[in-house]
Structures are given as structure tokens and as C-alpha cells.
Structure 1
Amino acid sequence: MNMVARFSRRRIVIITVSIIVLYNILSSSYSEYKTDTIIYRTKPEVVWEYVADFSKMKKLNPTILDFNIVADHGNLDHWKYSVEYTEQLSHWPYIRNTAVGHYSVRKLPQSEGGQYSVASTHRTCFLLGLFCLNSKGEFKISYLNEEDTFCQETVHYQCPFLFGQFCFREVEFQRKAIMANLNLHFKQNKM
């Protein structure tokens, strides 16, 4: 076997192994995060209207820097909108990403528990759009009892294998901040 053929075969093997390793490093799987809170002495519909308004999300989520509503349609029973937004990472604030979120806001029928829902899907991109991740979530709001509201959020987020702990901390920080700020908002409005 001549030297060129060995060099070419070696190069192919190195490139193939590199691609497989890189794919495993960057391949993204989905994880789930759930959180909940109780908003005292507030009706679910009031909380739902607040959470559904993305301009309030900037107050609830401290990582959101700017946003632009790009589509909006529907009615009181089922309202949909899309938003482009920019955020910084909570643990690495000098890293920014851009995202597009699609929201579906509706009151679920009694057969589905009579809850209020704000469901969304997101595509979050880093590195000038070269690396993107997807997520989806649902924020459900319902009566806990006659005067208190129960809020529960479930998020399914995509994360590269090697960044699992970092992604978890980022999701956890944002979701806890949203719930804490939501409680704070309604607590201050009662004073």
C-alpha cells in the first residue's frame, strides 16, 4: 500500500471519528423541569391575563432584555401570538441569545379541568444563529380553593449532552425568578 492511500484512509478515519465525537458532544436531548406556586387571594383569571401578556414577562423574567411581537391573532377564547426576544444568560450574562416564541393562550374546558393555559414553543439561537435549541412549555393556572390560585409550569428543554448541568441551572433560575416575581407582583397589589 502506498503512502498516499494510507494517508487518505487515516484522514477519513480521523474525520469520521471527529464527526461522531462532535455529534455526541453537541447532540441535544430533552429534559423536563416542573415548578409551581400558590398566589394567595387572587383569582386565576387575573393571574392568567398577567402571565399571558408578554410585556409582563420582561418584569417576571430578569434575563429578557428586549422583545418584539411579530404576530397576534385570535380571540378571548383562544389567542395566539409570536414574539422575537433577546435574553442574556443568568450565569454568563455576557452571553446573549435570540429566540422566537409562539404562544397559545386559552381557557381549557371543564372536561380538561377548567384551567387557564399559556402554552409556548421556543427556538433559542446562539452564535449568530448557528446553534439553536428548542423548548416547549405550559403554564397552567387554576383555583386552589375559593380565593387562592395554583400555578404550575412544565418546561421541556433541549440541551447538548455536555452542558446538561448548565442548562438545568439556567432553566431553574428563570423559572424560579418568574414564580417569585409573580408572587411579589400580586402581593404588592394587595397592599
Structure 2
Amino acid sequence: MLIGIRFLFSSTSYGNNTVIIFQLTDEQRVERHNLPSQVPVTMIRLQRHRAMALQALGRRKFVTAVVAALLFYVFLSPKVYEVTFDCIVPAVEPTAVCNFIADFNNLKRLNPTIENFSITSDNGDYHLWEYSVFYTEHLSNFPFIKNSAQALYKVYHTRNPDGECVIESDHRTCFIGRFLCVDSQSKFICHEKDKSTYCREEVSYECPRIASVFCRSEVMFQRRAIFRNLVLELSSPS
């Protein structure tokens, strides 16, 4: 800001020319002398703007990290899905069907994805039979991808007059050692219907949301194969 700028001048003649000489007043000298003092103020303002910009950038990075974490949780955390399958096994008693499918040796024949298994515990009687099994299998869509599973089976007969037999099983399937694991449950029910056996299986399984289509495809392939092969095995003449 310029204040009270005044000029003192004098003139000198040289021949035909007149030269006007301007002189700064003392007030102007003071003003010009004080101009450099504004530089530190400007630097402070720049530093403040830089600090505010860094704070804004930090907030954006934080918000981005939070959103990414939420998306990671939503798409990769498991969700429970449910499906139901049924079939008729003609001219076979429910007990025969139940005993056949409860035997894991036969289940390996019914499910083409099972590769190996080992019974780890076995106890019970006709009213309640329990056993644990460890088995390995491959994916139907990608046979080179293997997984291992631990399952607990319970087989029992209800008091219903139609001779209902129930097979309940809990499975924990892991893909990378014991790091990436999902749980599933199955309830397989057999009862008499018109001198045949009606079978129904209720399956609930966990799957990351991002892979829901793939998981459903795998479940559908296995259950359809089991039911189709079950009918073929028990309907064919021995």
C-alpha cells in the first residue's frame, strides 16, 4: 500500500534541453524499505495452504480405505444360501434308500467330485448312528482345484408311520489349508410314498457373495448327480 507518495523535482537546463530530476521523499524510502517484510507473511500463507491440502488428501485417503474395506467385507464375507432337491426311487423301501446313502462308500459312488475319504469316528446303533469323515474332492467346473472337508453324519428313524428316515450332516470345507473355509448343512429325508420312496434334501451352504453364481453351480451339479445316480443304482436290477 502506497501512502502519501510525493515527488520533489528540480530542473536543470543544458543548452536547449531541460532535464527534470525527480527525487524520492523520505516517506517513499521508508515504504520501499518495508516491502521485503511482506515475504515471510506470504510464506506462512503458503505453508498453511499446503498443510490444509495435505489434511484434505489424508481425509480422502481415509475415506477411500474405509469404502474399500466395506466393499471387501460385503463381497468376500460368506452369505448363507438354501436349496431343496427331491426325487422318487421306485419300488424301494425308505430304510433301504436311507441305509444306502448313509454309507459314505456309496456316497462316493453317487458324487463324482469326491476323490478320497477316511472315517475318523463311528458309533451308535439302529436308532441313532453317528460317524465323522474326512474327505477330499475337486470342483466340477475346475477339476484342478481341490478342497478338503470334515463332516459329521447323524442317521436316525423317526416315529412317523410312513417309516421316515433322516440323515443330517454338517460339513466344513476348506480350500487353502484351513484359511478359506465355509460351512454347509444337509438334511436328507426318506419316507414311503405309493410303494416307493420319496427323497428330499434341504441344503444350506455358505459362499462369498462375489462367488455366489459359482457356488450355486457347484452345489447344483453335485446334488443332481447324487439324485440321478441314486435312482439308477437302486432301480437297476441287482
Q: TM-score, normalised by structure 2?
A: 0.73
Quick one: which of 115, 120, 123 aligns to 2:169?
120
- Whether 1:62 and 2:84 are equivalent positions in the alignment is no
Paired positions, count: 188
Offset from partner CA, 1:98-156 (integer Å, 9 cap, x none): 11111110001228x641011111111112221111110111011012x2111111101
- Whether 1:135 and 2:184 are equivalent positions in the alignment is yes
Quick one: which of 49, 58, 78 aligns to 2:128?
78
- Following superposition, the deviation at residue 8 of structure 1 comes to 5.4
> 1:11 and 1:80 mapped to 2: Cα distance?
54
2:213 aligned residue = 165
1:29 aligned residue = 79
The amino acid that maps onto 1:149 is: T
> 2:98 and 2:202 mapped to 1: Cα distance?
15
Quick one: which of 197, 200, 203 aligns to 1:155?
203
- Structure 1 runs (4+) deviating above 6 angstroms are none
The amino acid that maps onto 1:136 is: Q
Name the SS for the 2:112 alignment partner: coil
Alpha-carbon spacing, 1:43–1:114, altered in 2? closer, same or farther (3 Å): closer
Offset from partner CA, 1:53-111 (integer Å, 9 cap, x none): 11111100000011111111211100111111111011111111111111110001228
Greater relative contact order structure (CA < 8 Å, 6+ sep): 1
> 1:72 and 1:15 mapped to 2: Cα distance?
49
The amino acid that maps onto 2:178 is: G
Offset from partner CA, 1:155-179 (integer Å, 9 cap, x none): 0111111111111111110000000
Name the SS for the 1:127 alignment partner: coil
> 1:102 and 1:9 mapped to 2: Cα distance?
50
The amino acid that maps onto 1:178 is: I
2:99 aligned residue = 49
> 1:69 and 1:4 mapped to 2: Cα distance?
61
> 1:109 and 1:178 mapped to 2: Cα distance?
27
Q: TM-score, normalised by structure 1?
A: 0.91
Name the SS for the 1:98 alignment partner: strand
- Whether 1:94 and 2:148 are equivalent positions in the alignment is no
Name the SS for the 2:177 alignment partner: helix
> 1:15 and 1:74 mapped to 2: Cα distance?
53
The structure whose Rg is larger is 2
- Whether 1:178 and 2:193 are equivalent positions in the alignment is no
